[in-house]
Structure 1
Amino acid sequence: MATPAPSIARILLDNAEEIVAIACLLGIGAVMALQLVLRGVFDNPLGWPEVVSQFLLVWASLLGAVGAAKRSALVQVDVVVRALPVPARRIVEIVGLVAIAVLLVVLGRYGFRLTSRVRTIASPLPITWAWCYAAAPVFVVLMALRLVQTKLFRHSFVFLEELWESPAATVQLPGGTGAAR
């Protein structure tokens, strides 16, 4: 029996970080292309594209890291771990998760403190650098949620790349009809 096609809501929820990270990267490309045209063709560059690109790159990087964690694609030396007996593998996994949790707590604490204290204006923009630094506490919360989903609840994600690779994939549309890709 074939498994039912995932709903659009499930796809969006399972891939929210990646979708926002892709939007950030597309934003960087669009802003920098605009800057190149204005600088090269009209010899009249704008002052804000570089700062906006920095903000977006920070957010895209951290959101991409959450996506990597969700896929268990973080850097690890699994050659050694695979050689261990199953109980030892489990211990190594738990120690790794505890280390990640400690790092997330530290990053969250200092990221929140920095975000709440920064008042420096991003020079060409009417916003503070806190918007850039806010990526750290948001990253911590999202990473913790995704790790709980992955490791504790063993959630089976529907990844975008799986939909792209499957030629017969269908997406459940509102009203119960499926649309073939």
Structure 2
Amino acid sequence: MAESIGDSLDQALESAFTRRPPQSAQAQMRFLVKQLKGTKATAQLLGISQRTVERYVKGQLKRPRQDLRDRLNREVRKRWQPQVRARAKQKAATTDGLVVSTRARFGFTAAPGTTDDARVRDITQALPPEFAARLFTARDQGATEQQLQRIAAEGLAQMYFRANNTRAHGLGVEFTDIQHVDIEL
């Protein structure tokens, strides 16, 4: 489970993959070289020398250091199956929506005298496609984690606390101290 909404969105999209990404360092390096159209661009992306990239591609080097392995995994996953990822985003943003499971502190603001002290709650709630679209669009445009949290809080406030705006009109919801968040498509 992720501790940030951005990471959880990435994991949700990865769940739509139809094939596993390359696992070995050699296969990952070959994939990146092909995607970036050369060893020089791959080396710059990973922060290593062009010669090191060539050695991994040839199989002369096999076990990267932990930091390089992490960067390699992250960059391959980011580029793996872009059409599958785009279809999953489109489906969530137009028809299916997404499901947010979280354990976080929720507090409320409403009319004077009707406030509720913040407390930790476990919530699993389906959000409609409009919130999926807003979250993915914000993520793609480089939104901060706080901006993503605000969008998720608006969705949870509308669907969970205000029952799709059929009750508790004007209730403001604060979404803080996230212990975990898991988003599914």
Do the structures match in fold with TM over 0.5? no
Q: Which has the higher helix share?
A: 1
Q: Which has the higher strand share?
A: 2
